[in-house]
Amino acid sequence: MNVAPPKWKTPIFMVDLEVADVMNRFVKRGACVIDAGANEGHFAWLLARLVGMEGCVYAYEPDRVVFDVLQDNIAPLKNVVTNETALWCRDEELTFYCTPESGYSSFVPYLDFERERYKVQARSLDGLGIKPTPSFIKVDCEGADEAVLRGAEQMLRSGVECVIAEMSFSLMENFQCSERTMREYMRGLGYECFLLEAYLKPLLVPHDSHIHLLESGAKNKMINVMFAKTSRVDELWT
């Protein structure tokens, strides 16, 4: 059967290679995985390929304009479930600010312009009752990443093997969180934090260090981090 190519608005080459590398190592055929902040579906396509028809990808994108693009792109894939749901630490109504540029919509207005704003019923991952327990979670929610992970505590305690999250240092302040609070929360659940660089072994972040001190200028930009067990990382990057 011929599958029509996706109608990407954002070029495929903009996908972070370090994230794709981790997905290729951790995500196995038959797995259940989550793509929180799926945007146009670039990573959802990769995840769908990795889990195969025996697995399932749950892709969440609350920007309703971008969600339409996501649905068009994902339509040929039968193992991806798309959801126009905003993820958060608990179930409550929030204002969502959408921008003309794909991938920058958020619960806070942080650009000089916006396309529109509207109320959304935000949900926690734990409250969605996803079965089986996902083995892998990717979170890219424009500053709300820690909140999304706090709303997935039961899920994380049930055996999620790897989490990739974006740390947007300036945006995190708007959510009263930081790289330190995210790392401490995840460490309390048994996860170590690693910095990612394409095709290199992830760098373990010492407990007493600040990420922006390890990465020159990182405090003014966004970086991807991975949460996993050191023993598993050593195994996959040997």
pLDDT at residue 11, as a whole number: 53
User: For 128-147, what is each residue's pLDDT tens digit?
Assistant: 999 999 999 999 999 999 99
pLDDT at residue 100, as a whole number: 87
Distance between CA atoms of residues 149 and 139, nearest Å: 8
List for the chain the helix, strand, coil content (%; round to 5). Answer: 35, 25, 45
Residues 6+ away with beta carbon under 8 Å from 33: 27, 47, 50, 51, 55, 56, 57, 58, 134, 135, 136, 137, 138
pLDDT at residue 150, as a whole number: 98
Q: Looking at the whole model, is its pTM more than 0.75? A: yes
149: phi then psi, degrees, rounded to nearest 5: -70, -35
Distance between CA atoms of residues 29 and 43, nearest Å: 16
Residue in the structure block whose two tokens are 């039968």: 78
pLDDT at residue 91, as a whole number: 97
Nearest alpha-carbon partner for 152 in 133, 180, 168: 133
Q: Does domain 13-236 have CATH number 3.90.100.10?
A: no
The residue ranges of the chain whose pLDDT is under 70 are 1-5, 7-15, 212-220
Nearest alpha-carbon partner for 195 in 221, 170, 219, 166: 166
